Amino acid sequence: MSNILSLFAKSPFEPLYEHHLRVQECVNLVKPLFNSLFEGNHEEFKRISTQIYKAENEADQIKNQIRNTVPKGVFLPVNREDLFRFLKIQDDMADCVEDITVLLTMKELVFTPEFVQEVMSFIDVVLTACHLADLANKNLRTLVNAAFKGQEIQEVLNLVDQVEKAEREGDKAGHALAHNLFTHEDVMKASDLILWFRILDLIGDLADYSAKTGEWLRTMLIR
């Protein structure tokens, strides 16, 4: 963490970018995590879970350092509270991935081949929103260097619009999958259905958080 801490001497936006990278590392591991679960590869599942816990913990450390190192009254090119709100929602994404991982270890979950296909398709839809948010959020550091001027702002705002559209598609897919979940109740126990319902809800939250980071990025750019 010493290399990360040295960034605070320059700008809060450098550690904010480092925080984003840790969060994105968690998000990028969602699909491999489920692949290992559905394939019954317990060693790979354990390895990926450990990697998620590590990245989430590092994201938490960076988040706390940002909060402790940006005192009130310091000059920033964006509103301080908007910056902290953006940081909080970005961090919520890593927390969400960690929560999904924990729930997947609660018990040996039952699933059918049809359900596996439905879940993986849903994950792909959600990760589309996450990927677009990743592209938009990565530009924050560039925008700071450009003093929030130029064509880059419109490009980021266009990406934010795409994130919100993708998030709506994620909502539709999530609602459909939640409805279809109960068509598998003849092979799943009540405990499996409850756990899967919560897991699917958290997967959908990733798209929601992606859209919210976009909303606060837009707020910082146009306020």
User: What is the residue extent of each domain of the chain?
Assistant: 10-222
Q: What is the pLDDT of residues 188-214, one digit of tens each?
A: 888 999 999 999 999 999 999 999 998
Name residues of the chain where pLDDT drops below 70: 1-11, 71-77, 144-151, 223
Q: What is the pLDDT of residues 33-64, one digit of tens each?
A: 999 999 999 999 999 999 999 999 999 999 99
Domain covering 10-222 in this structure, CATH number: 1.20.58.220
Burial 19-43 (b: 16+ CB within 10 A, else e): bbebbbbbbbbbebbbbbbbeeeee
Residue listed under structure tokens 């040295």: 6
Residue listed under structure tokens 């991935």: 97
Q: Are 62 and 22 in contact (CB under 8 A)?
A: yes
Residue 71: strand, helix, or coil: coil
Q: How far apart are CA 216 and CA 86, in angstroms?
A: 6
Q: How far apart are CA 163 and CA 210, in angstroms?
A: 7
Task: Please indicate, yes or no, whether the overall pTM of this predicted structure exceeds 0.85.
Answer: yes
Q: How far apart are CA 113 and CA 115, in angstroms?
A: 5
User: Which pLDDT does position 75 carry in this prediction?
Assistant: 58
Residue 171 has which token pair?
Answer: 């909502």
